A and B are shown apart, each in its own frame.
Chain A
Amino acid sequence: MDSFLSYTFIGLFTGAAYAIAASGLVLTYSTTRVFNIAHGAVGMVFAFVYWDFSQRQHMPAWLALALVLLVVAPAFGVFVQRVLTRGLGSQPIGVSLVVTVGILVGLIGVATQIWPPASRTVPQFFAGHLITLGNVVITWHQVLTVVLSGVVAGCLYLLLNRTRIGTAMRASVDNPDLLQLYGGRPQLVAALAWAIGTSLAALAGILLTPVIGLQYYDLTLLVISAYAAAMLGKLTSLPMTYVGAMGLGILQSYAVGYLPSAGNVAGLRAVVPTLFLFGIIVLLPQAPLRIGQVKGLVSAPVPTLGRASIWGGALVLFAMLLAVGLSTSNLLLLGTAATYAIVMLSLVLLTGYGGQVSLAQFTFAGVGAVAYAKIDQPNLFGLLVATLVAAAVGALVAIPVLRLTGLYLALATLAFAQLMDKLVFQASYAFQFNNPLHAERLSVLGLKIDGTGSYTVMMTIFFVLLALGVIAVRRGRLGRILIAMRDSQAACGTLGLDLRWLRVGLFAASAGIAGLAGALFAGLRGTIVANDFQFFASLLVLLVAVIWGVTSVTGAAIGGVFLMYLPVAQSDHANIAGLLFALLGFGAVALGRDPNGLANKIFGFNSWVVDRLYPALAERYPGMALRSRTDEWDGAVDGVDDESLAASGTEVERDVVVAG
């Protein structure tokens, strides 16, 4: 019985930490409809700030705590709401996810830059004081955490349900315009919600730091477990969130206490929060689709197959030149870039065209790599099998989450990626922790592609072929359906389109492409390890894909090179490595609202030169033989969709009639 009580109280402490973190998450989501993936990173940064105040600057703990929780964190929360996430709630979920993942990455970079790695400690509150109840021993710090979690939950409940500002908060999420018409101030309400939410993230970070240490990633990712608690309350109910957090904490504690520590079941203990999250997402009723308004994205220009083939051929030729001129070590980098580019191509199909967000693309690449290595058929047949295995896994993921959309779907893929990391990739039939798997380079029709240069060229050819396939899909009927699905699933449903199996097929195709990338990568490297395919890499891929354009194959190609070069640049400029990471993150924040990304700007450059620069020059220097494109081609641009030319912005609103 003593043990049971001990496990229970230990679980309550874990749950209390989750509860505080999840409460802030729910508050910001329920008032601004922005799911802040960076909530843990915010807690991490303010734990560093608290350390800086209390340990480095030797402020009294209470003063440091007050400064962080009442001044710095709320101010930062207001800044984030006003500058970084304003209006994000009405954007497609992919946009808000990318922006908040960008904040997460950016904050890790900022913390690394400001507080370089070193041993730092934050003492527990009331350190050394224990409470003994029979055989159960607990610390005052644990008691404080549990009590504060209850206080936070109670105060938030009262705020939202018993105060005028709380009512305004709840109203703002339903319809901020209506709230404004009634004299409310939605922006003020949103700012207040972010201020409180950020303070709660900071509080969770400060309370957890003495237990888990002051590190960049641990605190940041810990909060993912709190997502499960928040989802139990469907991101709106604070009482259910609290129950979920406590339940999860206790469940984890009991799992350690009562599940066998050896054998196949032992691995389950590590994935309790992930299973909890996955189960809740799949089993609980979903939020209704938002209707009445469709925000469609204007896609980047889609070239004709002929024009794309020419560019693809040029890319292959360029790769061949590089293969001749570059050293083997640099060719390995080029091959890595090709791998990233192919994975991003899978996102073009899934996210850029289909509007589905996946946070598990590298996991699918890992599946393809493992399959390729295991079947030991280094030829096109082996590559095909690896691709099909990855596609099948993608379909398996899609089937249970068929009815999920938006955020729920994204979190389901995140949970899937974590499960694969912890259960499958570490299993004896895969990598078994960090043992490398060996893979041979590919033979094509009996011809062994052994040299690194020729293998890299072959990877480029695969990229080009896949890109042509993706473009062909986009230009066909299927592509139009995908775009319609991206713009509004509700509208598609109203028009009689059954998208369920299309989504399964889309996931499978996307996973297959990523799996093929993984298989090619395995051949390039010769040996692969589980660490090559951890789920965090999927977040970075999504970020970079959006920065460079997740709606075009050009964005994928440039993004692949960029993602390959980022760690090289960090290594070459170690003193600003954190800054580079921050730039990536906040670059995604700046560009995240335009999924067409920088690639689209490149596409627009020619138009700008011809339509703006040439006329201006012609006017100033009448003697120059400059004509605008309009004059020359009479408004027709070969090979580019009309819709892309029509776009003056990145987003158009279309009124549609959707039956309620």
Chain B
Amino acid sequence: MRSKLVGACVLALALLVPTACGGSEVSPKEALAANQSILGQGAGSSTDTTGTSSDSTATGDTGTTGSSVDAPTAASTGGAATGTGSTGTGSTATGSTGGKPKTKGAGGAAPSASGASCAGFKNTTGITDSTITIGNSSDISGPVPGLFSSAQQATKAYVAYFNSRSNICGRKLSLINLDSRTDAGADQQSYQKLCDQTFAAVGSMSAFDSGGAATAQSCGLPDVRAAAVTAARNQCSTCFGAESSGDHEFSNSVPDFFVKNYHDASQKAAFLYLNAGAAAENAKTQQTVETQRGMSFVYSAGIDVAEFNYGPYVQQMKDKGVRWVQFLGGYQQAVRLAQAMQAANFKPDIFLLDPTAYDAGFVKSGGSAVDGAVIFIMFTPFEQSQPEVNLYKQWLQQVSPGAVPTFFGLFAWSAAKLFVEQAAALGGQLSRASLVAKLKGVDNWTANGLHAPMAIGGKHAPSCIRFLQLKGGKWTPLGSTSYQCDGFSKAG
């Protein structure tokens, strides 16, 4: 029952995580206002989150003493960043303004041992007098060996970083690493083990994460994941993705950007997707939202995982005069499509991919065929110097020399940071239930500028997006270097 063959490629795709998923529609203005209020920004239609992060529920939690971590350091050391918003209004962010007690802008600063009181701290499952044991269950073995090892490495890196600097109420973190083996059954088994042995799961990433959803929920295990891939995981009441997602939701910023800046091309759009796993479902959501936001699709097709010759699909797009192409699938299949387009001398104005293409393998294997490809991202690219990104890269090398930072690793780091901050903020009140309750209140989480604001507790698709384009083998910003925040919509 593990499969997998085909799976191999299928799986990688299944991971086309969370660019789509659940909730109600939020207007761009609401999203922008929320972001700005957190960032302490004034007017301007773009949001640069560098150096900031926030906890919407944190107000009032500060001022207590004790040993919580990453307490607000008002003067952010986050790197200053300038950006031009989608409407052309520039903004300069220098981290949090410190206006709100719990807004964090610690940049690359070490976690500190101040925050909530530790009075009344009770040991419980996974907590002893000296350690808090957390667990990570990610796909390490299976048809695509090492599929999400970067998530585990990042979690390990954060734990090492944290333990070198601080503690939570006198307790260091201890990490148990498990392998979900690219299999729903193994995910369930891992989470059963985590329920029994750990206080919380942190930074996990699995292609078939539906397996452990009910298990985590039934034992009340706080599961702060890198991302939730399946709807079942997202619906789990104790599970939260650092890269948030909502059922059948997609960011408005993606279609809005192209409707505004590439209007003619956006009216001759095509959507191709790998007909497997989460990709097929997410593709339908994304295409529906993009249509709702003004794009017009003249061609849409799902490609079977076993197909190797994408030529007929390219010919279809040529026949229909397509000028804007989006593909949802593994980067290997994206390369295949790009090569087929190159072979047919078909050059659309835009070839758009999701963040899974932000991978050295895509650039290397795609060569000239993928030059010009565009991706939408909701995190700070590794090419950019940003304190939290630098910290992640630095500590990754400490624990896994030679490891390459990845998109999934970045969100696993964010998940670990989120766990630590929330646990520390609870101090002596820390329990599985209190942590889950606290996580439910977290919105606009940016992990100190590591990524765009995420609706952790609300479980919604990210509102803020930016774009990169591959030029000469290097990812370069397309449009603004700031996030464009236009809210999200629910398909249908």
Contact = CB atoms under 8 A, between A and B. Distances in A.
B4 A329 contact: no
Interface size of B as a range: 35 or more
A252 B304 CA distance: 12
A567 interface: yes
A536 interface: yes
Contacts of B14: 434
A525 B3 contact: no
Indicate the member of A210, A255, A436 with the most B CB atoms within 10 Å: A436
Interface in A1-45: 3, 6-7, 10-11, 13-14, 17
A434 B281 CA distance: 9
B185 A328 contact: no
Given A221-B6, A529-B210, A329 B315 contact: no
Interface string B287-313: 000000000000111101011110111
A213 B4 contact: no
B2 A329 contact: no
A11 B5 CA distance: 25
A527 B301 CA distance: 29
Interface stretch (A112-120, A180-188, A280-288): A112-120
B8 to A, nearest CB: 4
Contact of B364 (A3, A121, A123): A121
B319 interface: yes
A284 B329 CA distance: 38
B4 A534 contact: yes
Contacts of A574: 140-141, 145, 179
A414 B167 CA distance: 56
A527 B211 contact: yes
B306 A434 contact: no
Contact of B189 (A121, A253, A256, A333): A333
Interface in A297-343: 327-329, 332-333, 336, 339-340
A380 interface: no
Nearest to B194: A329
Nearest to B2: A567
B492 to A, nearest CB: 15
A336 B211 CA distance: 13
Contacts of A139: 343
Contacts of A444: none
B7 A213 contact: no
A211 B306 contact: no
Contact of A532 (B184, B312, B365): B184
A598 to B, nearest CB: 23
B232 A217 contact: no
Indicate the member of B9, B311, B313 with the most A CB atoms within 10 Å: B311
A256 B313 contact: yes
B230 A218 contact: no
A123 B299 CA distance: 30
Contacts, number: 237
B360 interface: yes
Given A218-B9, A218-B308, A567 B141 contact: yes
Contacts of A128: 368
Interface string A545-582: 00000000000000000000001001100100110000
B332 A534 contact: no
A455 interface: no
Main secondary structure of the interface of A (DSSP, over half): helix
Interface string A234-276: 0000000000000001001101110001100010011001000
A532 B3 contact: yes
Nearest to B368: A128
A218 B8 contact: yes
A577 B141 contact: yes
Contacts of B365: 119-121, 213
Contact of A130 (B231, B319, B343, B368): B343
A137 B344 contact: yes
B190 interface: yes
Interface in B324-355: 332, 335-336, 339, 343-345
B396 to A, nearest CB: 18
B196 A329 contact: yes
B300 A537 contact: no
A630 interface: no
Contacts of B312: 7, 10-11, 252-253, 255-257
Contacts of B185: 332, 336, 525, 532
Nearest to A117: B145
B276 A328 contact: no
A586 interface: no
Interface in B264-281: 275-278, 280-281
Contacts of B360: 119
Interface in B190-232: 190, 192-193, 195-196, 208, 210-211, 213-215, 230-232
Contact of B8 (A217, A256, A426, A537): A217
Contact of A536 (B6, B196, B277): B6
B186 interface: yes
Contacts of A130: 343, 345
Contact of A329 (B142, B189, B318): B189
A269 B184 contact: no
B319 A3 contact: yes
A270 B4 contact: no
Indicate the member of A112, A327, A528, A534 with the most B CB atoms within 10 Å: A534
B143 A217 contact: yes
24 contacts: A6-B344, A13-B311, A139-B343, A213-B365, A218-B9, A218-B306, A220-B5, A252-B312, A257-B312, A261-B316, A329-B193, A332-B185, A339-B1, A426-B275, A433-B276, A434-B14, A521-B1, A531-B2, A534-B3, A534-B6, A536-B4, A536-B5, A571-B181, A571-B186
Ranked 9 nearest A-B pairs via Cβ: A119-B361, A256-B312, A270-B304, A534-B3, A536-B5, A10-B311, A329-B192, A436-B210, A212-B308
Given A213-B336, A329-B193, A526-B188, 5 more contacts: A3-B315, A130-B343, A217-B8, A527-B213, A537-B2
Interface of A: 3, 6-7, 10-11, 13-14, 17, 112, 116-121, 123, 128, 130, 132, 135, 137-139, 141-142, 208, 210-213, 215-218, 220-222, 224-225, 249, 252-253, 255-257, 261-262, 266, 269-270, 273, 327-329, 332-333, 336, 339-340, 362, 365, 422, 426, 432-436, 521, 525-529, 531-537, 567, 570-571, 574, 577-578
